[in-house]
Amino acid sequence: MLYEYVRAICPHIPYIHEEVSSSVMTDKSIEWCRWDDLDDSLKVNFTNILSGDDKTILDGIVATCPEYSDEVSETCLCLRISDFIESLDGVNNNIDVDKLINVENSKIGKKVTGNADNQDCDFDALLLLPSNLTGFATNAIELDIRASDITGNNNMTMRVYGTNNVEVGSGFDMTPTSANTWQTKVITASQLLAGTFTAGQMFRIRIHIIVDNADMIDISDGKVKFS
């Protein structure tokens, strides 16, 4: 469902994603949020029609959203997993990748299903660090994942590359420890200390998944948080 708000100046879009995610809304299935220069309006699209209470909360979030500015202090970036680019190397890539919309748990992202054992794929994204970056929060990167089976080859690794495009560490294990259960996996600020992260520049995240035949791994939107 699309909700539109007329404003004089472009709002700070990441603020809206973060506030919806941390709000008491019962439905947080926000698919996208963008500014339209043609009619000076903010467009916020949800998977479902919001209840009256949720719409009131959204109205309040939009009303208090600061104007976009390079000087806005960012404390969080939304990891829009649905926007990550799929990368296949041509070997053991017999998988299906579908959009994940899990209304019951307010999850949006990607669903990866194996069509044979030991199949893999990567998802990549570039993210812009805030211009006033001073450091990462204690829980620097958070991501929600779920696997239908945790035996066999099923696993997930996140690789983080600093603004100099050099990998930090050698991959962080994000594999679920319980089947069919959403779990929040965390990369801490201390784990990123060895990396180079320069304010106002781009860094890269790669998610590597291995999945067996008929098994599924779900990845939901996450966060990058700053101190």
Residue 73 has pLDDT above 60, yes or no: no
Query: How much is the pLDDT for 179?
Result: 94
Closest CA relative to residue 77, chosen from 209, 208, 206, 203:
203
Structural domains in the chain, CATH included, are 2-64 (no CATH), 76-226 (2.60.120.260)
Query: How much is the pLDDT for 70?
Result: 47
Taking the C-alpha atoms of residue 150 and residue 155, their distance in angstroms, rounded to an integer, is: 7
Q: How many residues does the chain have?
A: 227
Tell me the average pLDDT of the chain.
88
Q: Give pLDDT tens digits for 81-134.
A: 878 888 888 889 999 999 887 766 777 889 999 999 999 999 999 888 888 888
Between residues 185 and 9, the one the model is more confident about: 185
